[in-house]
Amino acid sequence: MSVRTRFAPSPTGYLHIGGARTALFNYLFARRHGGQYLLRIEDTDRQRSTQEAVQQILDSLEWLGLTPDEPPVFQSTREPRHAEVARELLARGRAYLAYDTPEELAAMRAAAEAQKRPFKYDGSRWMTLDPKDAPSVPPAIRIKAPREGDTVVEDLVQGTVRVSNAELDDMIILRSDGAPTYLHAVVVDDHDMAITHVIRGDDHLTNTFRQCMVYDAMGWHRPRFAHVPLIHGADGAKLSKRHGAVGALEFRDQGFLPEAVCNYLLRLGWGHGDTEIISREDVLRIFDIADVGRAAARMDYAKLLHFNGVWLRQADDERLTKEVLARLAKHGVAFGTLGGDRVRMLMPDLKSRAKTLEDLASSAAFAAFEGPPPMDPKAKALLTEEAKARLADLARFLTDAPWERQDLDSWLRDYAEVKGVKLGQVAQPLRVALSGSTQSPPIDAVLWALGRTEAMDRILAAAE
């Protein structure tokens, strides 16, 4: 049987980074075994589900390179099928009609709370009810839970997990208004989609035992389950906005590369020796869900930033240039063809120290400008009268310089030697004039990328 996994988010908000990791594990497991990875949008919560959230989930998965192999399934379109299975269980005698009113259920819960015991629904009075004695209220359909023995799940991450059937109750599978419950719908959908492996967060582990009741009552083969630990913040608490970015697209907007985010999420709970930086092609050869640990992983934003820096340095310069120019345009920096060409020429030097695409865009902005760039206060303070005189002298010296990078480096060193000053005393005022900052790529690279005309204009403007 071909492996089929699924990622099943609810479109009630952004795609959480923990959900993104679950999608990644499903994708990798399916690819590793030559199977299919699917997407199901669980949009049965009509009040909270939005089309905007659906689109955000689709955009997030596309950005991360986790596009499913088939069009998404929308759970809300399958409600007639969910109801059909519930009625089939009723016809088989594996479920029954329950006529409890909301007030009666509330009273049962209150009584259990007063007695300090867990609430467990007892529907024995309805199981033998003669239809002619049924109350005149719409009934719900409840599944008959097993009363004896244990339900055992051989989890691919958690190992053997069991629960006493005495702890299970007769859960509702079809509400009195005809709407299916989530725990029932998920089982029907997974069965009909031929899902062989359910890989999800371990917060669903308790749901699994209840869902097994539906599989077993219908005589359906259970999928293999793998419940992966959640992602916590550095303080051990559930990851939330107070820890930092948690939405997948937030990381995109902050300038992270998708391969860096996926690489980091992969290593957040999964390990293969000491290997940290690993490409998707490489991980597809070695990924095993059994290598996922059982303990909750802790989000380390500093480490993610390190990963991103490594991937930036490996990234194609043309791709990074397009990303940077798009960000500069978004930030209102106007540039023409020449500005784009300069950024492209400087990219090998720019990316060597950057950690994010936002860093790259910020450090590249000076090259995109036509004319003298805006000057930050620290740089402006360095433009003393002595520095201006140095720039004017440099302008005369560079007038006849050959404009190739290696030649420019030699000319600047010759200038410093002739004037009897350190190279830094030459390069720093030049850097300020050319970039408007005290930090930039190597000065010979900046001169070369700007070109003779633009560079001389900037030097003379600063000297004045």
Backbone angles phi, psi at 227, to 5 degrees: -105, 110
Output the pLDDT for position 202: 94
Alpha-carbon span 187 to 112, nearest angstrom: 29
113 contacts: CB under 8 Å, gap ≥ 6: 119
Q: Which CATH architecture has domain 377-463?
A: Orthogonal Bundle (1.10)
Backbone angles phi, psi at 40, to 5 degrees: -125, 125
Return the amino acid letter for 344: R
Tokens of 462: 């600063």
Output the pLDDT for position 239: 84
102 contacts: CB under 8 Å, gap ≥ 6: none
Output the pLDDT for position 3: 97
- Over the chain (464 residues), the average pLDDT of each successive run of 10 is 94 93 97 97 88 96 97 97 98 94 88 87 84 86 95 97 94 95 97 98 95 98 96 86 86 97 94 86 93 92 96 97 95 88 96 96 94 90 93 92 92 93 93 94 95 94 92
Show which residues are catalytic. Answer: 241
3-state helix, strand, coil in the chain (%, to 5): 55, 10, 35
- Cα of first residue to Cα of last residue in the chain, in angstroms, is 77
Q: Which fold has domain 78-228?
A: Rossmann fold (3.40.50)
Output the pLDDT for position 133: 82
With left for phi above 0 and alpha for psi between -120 and 50, is residue 436 left, alpha or beta? left
Output the pLDDT for position 33: 96
Count CB-CB contacts under 10 A for residue 449.
Answer: 22
Token match 């201006």: residue? 388
Q: Where do runs of H (alpha helix) occur along 238-300?
A: 248-253, 258-267, 280-286
Beta strands in 192-285 (DSSP E): 197-201, 224-228, 231-232
Output the pLDDT for position 403: 93
Strand partners, 180: 174
Strand partners, 297: 231
Binding residues: 241
Domain positions in the chain = 78-228, 377-463
Output the pLDDT for position 336: 86
CA distances from 202 to 16, 150, 163, 182, 459 (A): 15, 20, 15, 17, 61
Q: Any idea what DSSP says for residue 437?
A: S
Binding residues for ATP: 241
Q: Where do runs of H (alpha helix) occur along 143-204?
A: 182-192
What is the chain's length? 464
Strand partners, 224: 197
Same fold yes or no, 78-228 and 377-463: no
Exposure letters 78-117 (e unless 16+ CB within 10 A, then b): bbeebbebbeebbeeebbbbbbbeeeeeeeeeeeeeeeee
Output the pLDDT for position 44: 86
Alpha-carbon span 391 to 370, nearest angstrom: 19
Sign for the CA dihedral angle at 258, 225, 216, 204 comes to negative
CA distances from 54 to 67, 389, 415 (A): 14, 61, 62
Alpha-carbon span 240 to 43, nearest angstrom: 23
In 3D space, the residue among 95, 385, 347, 83 whose CA is nearest the CA of residue 213 turns out to be 95
Token match 């340095």: residue? 313
Alpha-carbon span 175 to 142, nearest angstrom: 9
